């Protein structure tokens, strides 16, 4: 029986006990790993998992923002925090991260593969090295981490949870998004199929596919992020993390936060090139 079901059973048996939130564990009794945790959605995942009782292993490619998140987690009462500074856009990155955490005695029950690189640029204008890094980070590293940690969870006999951050852009085959959208489409397809492979072994896998999120990923200034949220075209990073975890605890294989984004998917797929051309001319100035 899953941990959250045990918690609900215990609460029923003891009427005066405080009911735990979905996904919660006794304080400090389990570990969670979040990649790309130095800012944005990854930071919010880390804070929310800490609030549910988890120790946190946070990974990213820059020490300073990770140290800042570590201080936030400590202030929030997270019992233990392990910081791993590493470049995850390398073939050997997943194995190195896994081996390093195993050496530190850390075996997470929850893995959030959040690290990502945004790219809005035509393929012909994208350097080969950047293409390689995006595909390695989004697809190779995530796939290997899923394989390594799912096998470890099964060997340990725990009911594990893995959340992979895909993107709404997979349904937007627009100029400038060919590389980014395709790499995220792989993540969703892989996650849904992998979830079916490991479901009977007690592992839940979810792909979160948010549309616009108010983070620094797209290069938007804080002012434009606030405007986007007021207009309803962007959701907050914390809202994205909350909805992703909610879907993970419920065992959903794929989720698109907010119903209106789900409603637009058929239109995104069918939008003709003549309708995209004016948008392309406007957005060319933002290519990076």
Residue of 180, 186, 218, 288 marked active site: 180
Residue of 184, 186, 218, 269 marked active site: 184
- The candidate with the shortest Cα–Cα distance to 162, out of 60, 284, 34, is 34
Give every CB contact of residue 216 below 8 A, 6+ residues apart in sequence.
Answer: 39, 40
Residue 180 appears among annotated catalytic residues: yes
The tokens for 257 are 């936060």
The tokens for 157 are 């006999």
Residue 184 appears among annotated catalytic residues: yes
Give every CB contact of residue 69 below 8 A, 6+ residues apart in sequence.
Answer: 37, 38, 39, 43, 46, 47, 58
Cross-strand bridge partners of residue 55: 31
What residues are annotated to the active site?
Answer: 180, 184
């Amino acid at each position: 029986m899953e941990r959250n079901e045990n918690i609900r059973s215990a609460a029923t048996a003891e009427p005066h006990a405080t009911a735990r939130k979905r996904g919660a564990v006794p304080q400090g009794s389990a570990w969670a790993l979040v990649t790309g945790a130095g800012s944005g959605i990854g930071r919010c995942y880390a804070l929310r998992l800490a609030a549910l009782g988890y120790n946190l292993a946070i990974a990213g490619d820059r020490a300073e923002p990770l140290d800042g998140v570590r201080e936030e987690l400590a202030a929030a009462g997270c019992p233990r925090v392990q910081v791993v500074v590493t470049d995850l856009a390398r073939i050997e990155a997943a194995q190195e991260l896994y081996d390093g955490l195993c050496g530190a005695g850390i075996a997470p029950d929850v893995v959030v593969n959040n690290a990502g690189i945004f790219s809005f640029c035509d393929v012909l204008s994208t350097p080969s090295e950047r293409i390689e890094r995006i595909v390695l980070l989004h697809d190779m590293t995530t796939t290997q981490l899923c394989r390594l940690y799912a096998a470890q969870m099964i060997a340990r006999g725990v009911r594990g949870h893995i959340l992979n951050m895909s993107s709404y852009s997979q349904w937007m085959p627009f100029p400038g998004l060919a590389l980014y959208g395709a790499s995220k489409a792989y993540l969703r397809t892989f996650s849904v199929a992998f979830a079916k492979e490991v479901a009977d072994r007690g592992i839940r896998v979810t792909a979160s596919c948010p549309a616009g999120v108010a983070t620094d990923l797209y290069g938007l200034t804080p002012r434009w992020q606030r405007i986007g949220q007021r207009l309803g075209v962007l959701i907050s990073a914390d809202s994205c993390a909350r909805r992703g975890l909610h879907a993970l605890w419920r065992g959903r294989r794929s989720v698109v936060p907010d119903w209106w984004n789900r409603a637009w998917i058929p239109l995104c797929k069918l939008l003709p090139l003549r309708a995209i051309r004016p948008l392309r001319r406007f957005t060319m100035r933002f290519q990076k």
